[in-house]
Chains A and B, each alone.
Chain A
Amino acid sequence: MSAPVLLPPRPIDDPDLAPGAAPVARTNWQLFRRRFFRHRLALVSIAALAILMVACYGAPWLAPYKQNAQNLLDGGMGPSAKHWFGTDDLGRDQLSEIMYAGRISLTIGLVVALLSTVVGVAVGAVSGYFGGATDQALSGFTDLFLVLPDLALLAVAVVIFSRSFTSIILVLAALGWMYMARIVRAQVLSLKEKEFVEAARASGASSMRILLRHIIPNCVGTIMVNASLAVAVAISTEAALSFLGVGIQAPQNSWGLMLTGAKSYTTSTSKFYLVLFPGLMLLLTVLAVNFIGDALRDALDPQARH
């Protein structure tokens, strides 16, 4: 996609073109950019995610207060100029807490999505391309885990492997790759019958080379869309686990855990901000990731050529 010079220029129908004007040749990368940037919401989402990531990962330098810094005299105060998101009963600045907790939530989302994508693509590609026993094992395996209620299974797995940051990431990834594997497998099944694969095989390419150089690059669109959605799923699943008491533990903090601590304040009108802000961050992140996923889907769709 990033080698524009090599692609032959080809005329396409351009809806923005004046009638009668000569069509302009566009490279794949230009087409992708054009179609992606047409989604205003996706652009806003990218900006929002960028700000969020800078704020969270830069928390040690940017946060107005230190993590878990208590100031009992300022406890339970609503949003103000001094504490933008207010403070909890122990006087901890909520803005700083959200920034620090965001590091955990965002890292879990990104790392889990990365791990489950790598595993899912590998398993899906191999089982789709080679078929046979691998394929049967994969289908049986995914069917099996689709039968068991996922949140309950995750909760039990987390209890087994401890509730540390690493083990939560590993458990979420270990139980999260099947969906990607299924999708990649379906795509590989149709791609491997195409002429260009046949041509590659005829010219003596090994299976490994066909998979890595010919088939998987053609799945990049699907993979990217589903990887972006996997980020959203991982972040909300971790939040749900933390909320149920089987997720991240203090002194570490995540947005889900902040909401667990705040849930008794739903009966108070004065401290409602403690419930509002961490959830708002979750909503914002997942929404932004979904919008980007949608724009990617449109932009990478090979059927739409303008």
Chain B
Amino acid sequence: MLRYLVRRLLGSIPVLLVASFITFWLVRRAVDPLAKFRHDRDSARVLAEQRKALGLDHPVIVQWWNWLTHFVRGDLGTSTRTRDPVSGMIQHALWPTLQLMFWATIVSVVVALLLGTYSAVKQYSAGDYAVTGLSYLGLAMPDFWFALIAIAVLVTLPTVWFHLNQPILYSVGLHSPGDSGLNLDYFRHLALPVLTLTFGAVASWSRFHRASMLEVLNADYVRTARAKGVPGHQVITRHVLRNALIPFTTVTALDTAFLVSGVIITERIFSIAGMGQGFLSALGAGDAPFLLAWFVIGAVAVIGMNLLADVGYVALDPRIRLS
């Protein structure tokens, strides 16, 4: 197992290197580091000076190498937007995003498992049709529109109808000003962003889980278990669910990486100062060092989740041997 892990980790290094070069090149194209000097009175001379000072007179690959050697030593550079060190900004931005992803993953996994199991066990019942219909809706609904509707229906409407002084659920930030910690206020802020991140994942994961449950339900060993008189619920929990959980783990681990796109939109709508917001402001302000660090962290997270998916697969399924 350890050898497999090491091999996989070593194998992901070239992917990371090339990915970082592509993003470096793209960000260089997207952002003009000399923009603020372009309108100087003496612009020709200043531009030439700055080009040399910033190392822009080298080929892109040399610039990339310089950036990379600093990056791996922990020097993420200084933000051109705020003049703060990027590492500190990332640390600040990472925390709210990790909270969002943590809660969103937990809620989606639990809800998707419940719905998918129910749907498969009661196949073709009214409940199954309702779950399947909702999952179609969840897959087709753009997440930002869902968030806007959720704000209108769950925040604005109750507040107006019942003449409340403050809404039951909040749609801005993760805490009220001056508040912090794991309290009711936190969950009242958390509910809507997590709901936004959750519904799409629940829609696709529950559908997936229903399909893999049905596959196992029709397997011979399940019929055998029933035939030898194992009680119905025990067949489901011991035989069916356990086996259906194997593909489910892989899919959820792989998809968690795709939550990143959802996080950008969710943080934008609910004004949460995390990585998603950080990306958008950096893109708007042409903050190259932050963008580069952002992409590297994103890529590392995706690779990490892929690895976790594979390791989980091997750990859960004794039929798979590493070679």
What is A's interface to B at a CB cutoff of 8 Å?
143-144, 146-153, 155-157, 159-160, 232, 236, 239-240, 243-246, 256, 259, 262-263, 266-269, 272, 275-276, 279, 282-283, 286-287, 290-291
Contact = CB atoms under 8 A, between A and B. Distances in A.
Interface pairs A-B: 3 shortest CB-CB: A279-B145, A151-B261, A286-B140
B185 to A, nearest CB: 20
Interface string B144-177: 1100110110011100100000000001000000
A246 B283 contact: yes
Given A152-B264, A156-B291, A287-B140, A147 B303 contact: yes
Contact of A269 (B144, B160, B269): B160
Nearest to B284: A245
Q: Which of A151, A152, A244 has the most CB atoms of chain B within a 10 A radius of its CB? A: A152
Given A160-B26, A272-B152, A146 B302 contact: yes
Contact of B148 (A146, A151, A153, A263): A263
A160 B30 contact: yes
A160 B32 CA distance: 10
Contact of B140 (A232, A263, A266, A267): A232
B142 to A, nearest CB: 5
Contacts, number: 128
A279 B142 contact: yes
Contacts of A262: 148
12 contacts: A143-B15, A149-B260, A151-B261, A152-B279, A155-B283, A232-B140, A263-B148, A266-B156, A266-B171, A267-B152, A267-B156, A283-B142
**Chain B: interface secondary structure?**
helix
B112 to A, nearest CB: 19
B184 interface: no
B261 A150 contact: yes
A46 to B, nearest CB: 16
Contacts of B144: 239-240, 243, 259
B26 A152 contact: no
B141 A283 contact: yes
**Chain A: interface secondary structure?**
helix
Contacts of B152: 266-267, 269, 272, 275
A18 B143 CA distance: 49
B19 A144 contact: yes
A146 B303 CA distance: 9
Contacts of A259: 144-145, 148
B15 A268 contact: no
Contacts of B279: 152, 155
A148 B148 contact: no
B81 to A, nearest CB: 15
Contacts of B26: 153, 156-157, 160
Given A148-B23, A275-B152, A287 B142 contact: no
B103 to A, nearest CB: 20
| Chain B interface size, under 10 / 10 to 19 / 20 to 34 / 35 or more | 35 or more
Q: Which of A236, A266, A276, A283 has the most CB atoms of chain B within a 10 A radius of its CB? A: A266
B140 A290 contact: yes
Contact of B298 (A148, A157, A287): A148
B280 interface: yes
B148 A283 contact: no
A282 B145 CA distance: 9
A274 to B, nearest CB: 10
Contacts of A159: 30, 283
Given A144-B15, A244-B268, A290-B139, A156 B148 contact: no
A177 B268 CA distance: 28
Contacts of B265: 151, 240, 243-244
B163 to A, nearest CB: 13
B299 A147 contact: yes
B290 to A, nearest CB: 12
Contacts of A266: 148-149, 151-152, 155-156, 171
Interface in B295-313: 295, 298-299, 302-303
A232 B140 CA distance: 8
A148 B299 contact: yes
A269 B163 CA distance: 13
B30 A156 contact: yes
B136 interface: yes
A152 B145 CA distance: 19
Interface in B126-147: 136-137, 139-145
Contacts of B151: 266-267
A256 B27 CA distance: 25
B142 A156 contact: no
Contacts of B141: 279, 283, 286
Contacts of A240: 142-144, 261, 265
B227 interface: no
Nearest to B141: A283
A105 B90 CA distance: 35
B156 A268 contact: yes
A272 B154 CA distance: 13
Given A143-B15, A156-B26, A243-B265, A148 B295 contact: yes
A155 B160 CA distance: 37
Contacts of A272: 152, 156
A147 B145 contact: no
B270 to A, nearest CB: 11
Contact of A149 (B269, B298, B303): B298
